[in-house]
Structure 1
Amino acid sequence: MQTVLYARVSTVEQTIEHQRTQAEAAGFRFDRVLIERGQSGVGTRLADRPEGRRLFDILRSGDVLVVRWLDRLGRNYEDVTATVRELLARGVTIRTVINGLALDGATADPMQRAVRDALVAFMAATAQAQAEVTREAQAAGIALARQEGRGFRGRKPTYTRAQLAQVRDALGRGEPVSGAAREAGLSRQAVYRIAADPAGSEAALVTWGL
């Protein structure tokens, strides 16, 4: 049996280390760590990503797959739910760092299976919805930046694009502002501003060329 951490970020600029650090702080120890950089969880299925393919190759019955949250597997509802079903059918246990969830295929009780499958479906749907909200905010931010031009740029953002993505991700999971601030390494005031105006936050990054 082995324990494998799968960590993913959608751009090469984002750091992956916080995913491993959070997992270790939660008490996880790994035999392998697979790191996926610059891979979208929306447009690319897990099985089509380099490290995602490795997951399917190496995971066997009795193994444990650790992810920060199910959205690391992907942000496409069909892909995530199909992936979870296949892994559970293999006898793999999936554990999340956030909230310490454990998903396995051991139970034969239909009611327990229904509850488990409903939870997976909810998490996968939430991940896709958050990705769609983020995409819309980015488009609105770019449009706003173009409309206003670069003559007046306002205050330079105190956050990076990676931190903005982390805040959106955390808030989309229902994390409180304090939790989102902790994850992204920002002040609560910065997170409040991002939450209040996601399009404007994106626009600020665009106008400053960040």
Structure 2
Amino acid sequence: MRMLGYTRVSTAAQDAQLQLVSLLSAGVQRRDVFADVTSGSRAAVDRPGMKKLLDYAEAGDTLVVWRVDRLGRSLIDVLNTVNLLQGRGVALRSLSDGIDPATSTGRLMLNMLATLADYERELITERVNAGIAAAKANGTRFGRPAVDPSVIAGKLEIVQQERAKGRTAEEAAQLVGWSRATLYRHQQAATGKATFRGVGPSHLRDLGAQ
């Protein structure tokens, strides 16, 4: 069993020496310490030091950190990292927090972290839903932007011309960047309106005929 270490600071101006000294004092070898100097906005698995650590770690190893928040940018990220490590058979020990899955207290604290992470997920979902509801109330539209009717009309005219040359509906639709189903949908919408540039509904139906 090996003891691996991990340190993280947000900027190059910060010093990871305190973290490093604590890890070495706990028995971690200097050669087994991995480090990141990166913003907390990046998920743990996207950091170069953590990637190297995950590639190096083996089942039965123990990862030692100065504080558990070094593992992630949020409770959710921390818990995802802990779960990833546990899934690979790597234990976790946090020196300042007293988190150690080998002890009952450590397991309790991990369970508390999981509960808090779930709570954070629910808060994020509630905030997102509230933001969407408020935006809709203020007239914001979600989804794909509306397509200019003149663009659709122009594409239908091109399709008509290509169908007259003997192309199939699918081939003509692909020329204007549509699928066959999209072509039929626009044709049906057009037949429910006034005649399109002198082309009557019967002609529009002919566009899709094989």
Give the TM-score normalised by the residue count of structure 1: 0.48
Q: Which structure carries more relative contact order (alpha carbon 8 Å, separation 6+)?
A: 1
Give the TM-score normalised by the residue count of structure 2: 0.48
